[in-house]
Structure 1
Amino acid sequence: MQHEVTPRTDGSGTATGPGDRSGGRVTLRGDLRAALPDAAAAVVVTGAVFLFLYLRMGAGEGDTVAVMPFMDDPATYWMYLLSQAFGWSALLWAWGTVMLGLVVSGPGAGRLPVSRATLERWHRTTSLTTMALMAAHALMFMAELVRYEAALGWAARIWAGFADSFVPGWYDSGTGRLAIPIGQAALYLAVPLGLLFYVRHRIGANTWRRLHRFVIVVYVLSVWHTLLYGTNVWYGDWPRTVLWLLQLPVAGLLLVRLLRPARRSERLGSPRGGRRAAGWVLRAAGRAVVLAVVVGILVVTVSGRDGGRPRPAEPPAATPHAHEAG
C-alpha cells in the first residue's frame, strides 16, 4: 500500500532529495524497524477494542450478541472477539495509510507542515502494519473455528479452520459465502501490492506504478467485507453510518488526486486519436466513477439507506457457526 513515486525519488526507489543522508534505497528491513512504534500503537488500539467488545459481550450487550445470541460468553468466544478487534484495527490503519498515500501523491503535498519524506515514511510503515493486522484478523478467525470443531481430530480441526479462513469459496455459511472471499481477496492483494514497493527497482517504476493503482481496490474490498460481515455494523444504526461517512474523505481525496494529478502524464488533457484516445476515455471514466461514488456516499448517509439490516423485535435463533455474521 505504498504511494506513487514522488519528485524526491528517481523512480527506482533510490532517494535523491537533500533530506536523504545515505543516498541508499529504501529497504523492507529499514521500514520494518521504523514500523515498530506504529505496530505498538496498533496493538494498544486492538487491545482497547478487544476489551470493549469483551465487556459488552459479557454484559449481554452489543450487536454481536444481538445477531448471534449464543455468543454471550466472552470467555468462550474470546478468539472471535480478538479477530474482530484485529479487523477493526486493520480497517482503521488501512484508512490511515490510504489517506496518507493520497495526500502525499496529491497536488498539495508540498504545502503541508509535515515534510514529504516524513509522510512517505508514515505511509510505508502504516502499510506494513495494516498487512500484519489483516493477517492477524484472519488467523484469529481460523483459531476460533479450530476451537469450535472440538469433535474432530487436531489435523481435521486445523484443516477445517484453515480452509474456511483462507481457501476462497470453502466457507459455506450464510453471508460468509460472499463476505469471506471478499476479505480473502483484500488480504491476498494487499500483501504483494504492498511489498512490490521494495522491488520496484527490479520491475521498473512504471510497472510498479501501474500495479500500485490497484491498492484502492484492496481498500474497497476491505470496507465491503466489513459492511457485509461485521456484526458491529450489522444493523442500520449510527456505527454503520459513521463507517460510510469515513469513506467520504477517501473518495474526495481520490477525486482531487485524479482531477489534479501531480504527474503531467496523468492529466486528462484533450482526447486524441488511436491508443491515446482510448487512454483518455479510461481516465475520464475513472474520474466519473469516483465522482459518482462521492455522490453515492452522500446520498447513503443523508438518506439513511446504508444497507443495514432492520433490528428484529425478537433475537434470532442461531447456533454457533450456522449464522449470517462474522
Structure 2
Amino acid sequence: MDTAALRADLRGAIPDATAALVITGAIVVWLYARIDNGESATLDVMPYLADADAYLLYWLCQAFGWSALLWAWLTTMFGLLRSGRPPGWLPVSPARLERLHRTTSLTTVALMFLHAALFFAEMVRTGDSDTLLGRVWRAFVESFVPGGYDSGTGRVAILLGLLAFYLAIPLGLAYYLRTRLGAGPWRALHRFVLVVYVLSVWHTLLYGTNVWFDGWPRTTLWLLQLPPALLLLARLLVPARPAERGGALRGRPVALALRIGGIVATVGVIATVVTVVITGRDGGRTPGAEGAGLTMTQGLIWAGTVVFLAVLVAAVTFARRRAVPREGEPARR
C-alpha cells in the first residue's frame, strides 16, 4: 500500500472533514428545529421522537447520514470531472481535482461510519435486553451486520446502506494499491465505486427522505442527481482517453456492450429524475396515504450483490490479462 500517499491525503482531508462536521452540526440544528416546531414528517411515522432531547443520538445519526450523502455527491462529482474532459471554465487544475476527489472520498467513508456508529449507540441505549452485553450484541447485529436488521423498511434500507459502506472501503482505498494492482485493473476496479453512490442514494430515498420528509427536501435530493448523471453521460459519450473512443472499441464487443448499456441506464436515470421533479411523485410515502409494500426483498438484493461482485471480478481479471503482453507483443500502457 502507498502509505505515504494515504498519510498525505489524510492530512489533506482535515479541512475537508472539519467543514463536514460544521455542516453536520447545522443539519442537527435544522432537524431539531423541525421536531421542536412539529414540522417534521418523522412525527407522522414515529410520534415518540417528538422529544428531541431524549433522542439526540438518533438525530445525530440522521445528520451524519445526510452529510455523508452530501460528501458522497461531492466526491462523485470531483471524480467524474477528473476522469472526463474538465470544462474550460473550471478554475481548478486536474491535479487539484484528483486531490479533492481523494480527500472527500476519505471523509465520506468516515461520515458513513459515524452514521452507522451513532445508530449503533442509539440501539444500545434503547435496546430491550436485560443485560448490557445483550443490548450491545443486538445493536451490533442490527447496525453493522448486513441483513441483521429485520423489521419494517429497514430490512432493505439498512442492508443497502451497509453494502454501500462496506464496498466504499476497498473501492475507495484501491487507489493506494494501484501500483500493486496495475493501472488497468485499478482503473477497472475504481469505476465500480459509482455503485456505492447509487446504493447510498437508494438507501436515503427508501429510509430517509421518502419517510421523513416531503416537499422541497425530497425534490432537492432528486434534482441533485442530475449533475452526476449528466457528467457520466458526457463521460460515456465522449471519453477522455483515446483508447476508449470510437474505433478503439471495435473488436471489443464486451466493452462496447458495457458502454451502450451504461448510456442507456444513464439516460433512464435522467428521464426518471425529470419525471419525478415534474410530477412530484417518486413512489415514496405520501402524508395521509397508505404506501404499497416493499417490492424489493433482501433475497433480491443479495442476488444482485453476487452478480455485481462477479462482474467486478471479471472486469478486473479482463483488465489484468489485457495488461500482460503476449509473446512478441509490447506491454500495453
Q: Same fold (TM over 0.5)?
A: yes
Q: TM-score, normalised by structure 2?
A: 0.82
2:159 is aligned, of 181, 190, 209, to: 181
SS of residue paired to 1:171 = coil
Q: Which residue of the partner structure matches residue 154 of structure 1?
A: 132
Deviations 1:95-130 (A, max 9, x none): 011001111111135663211111111111111100
SS of residue paired to 1:195 = helix
The answer as to whether partners of 1:98 and 1:216 remain within 8 angstroms in 2 is: yes
Q: Which residue of the partner structure matches residue 171 of structure 1?
A: 149
Deviations 1:197-222 (A, max 9, x none): 01111111111111111111000000
Q: Which residue of the partner structure matches residue 306 of structure 1?
A: 282
Residue 231 of structure 1: how far off its partner (Å):
5.2
Task: Give the 3 Å change call, closer, same or farther, for CA 82–236 of structure 1 in structure 2.
Answer: closer
SS of residue paired to 1:174 = coil
Amino acid aligned to 1:101: G
Write the distance in 2 (CA, Å) between the matches of 1:258 and 1:279: 12
The answer as to whether partners of 1:141 and 1:165 remain within 8 angstroms in 2 is: yes
Residue 278 of structure 1: how far off its partner (Å):
2.8
Amino acid aligned to 1:95: W
Q: Which residue of the partner structure matches residue 315 of structure 2?
A: none
The answer as to whether partners of 2:86 and 2:94 remain within 8 angstroms in 1 is: no
Write the distance in 1 (CA, Å) between the matches of 2:100 and 2:250: 39
- The RMSD of aligned alpha carbons is 2.1
Q: How do 1:22-33 residues align onto structure 2 when only pairs under 5 Å count?
A: 27-33=5-11
Amino acid aligned to 2:111: L
SS of residue paired to 2:52 = coil
Could you tell me which runs of 5 or more consecutive residues in structure 1 were left unpaired when the two chains were aligned: 1-11, 14-24, 315-326
Q: Which residue of the partner structure matches residue 135 of structure 1?
A: 113
Structure 1 residue runs of 4 or more that deviate by more than 3 Å after TM superposition? 231-236, 268-273
Could you tell me which runs of 5 or more consecutive residues in structure 2 were left unpaired when the two chains were aligned: 291-333
Residue 277 of structure 1: how far off its partner (Å):
2.1
Q: Which residue of the partner structure matches residue 182 of structure 2?
A: 204
Q: Which residue of the partner structure matches residue 49 of structure 1?
A: 27
1:259 is aligned, of 231, 234, 237, to: 237
Residue 90 of structure 1: how far off its partner (Å):
0.2
Q: Which residue of the partner structure matches residue 268 of structure 2?
A: 292
The answer as to whether partners of 1:63 and 1:231 remain within 8 angstroms in 2 is: no
Identity of aligned residues (%): 58
Residue 32 of structure 1: how far off its partner (Å):
0.3
SS of residue paired to 2:285 = coil
Q: Which residue of the partner structure matches residue 116 of structure 1?
A: 94
Write the distance in 2 (CA, Å) between the matches of 1:286 and 1:231: 27
Amino acid aligned to 2:263: R
Q: Which residue of the partner structure matches residue 308 of structure 2?
A: none
Report which of the two has the higher share of helix: 2
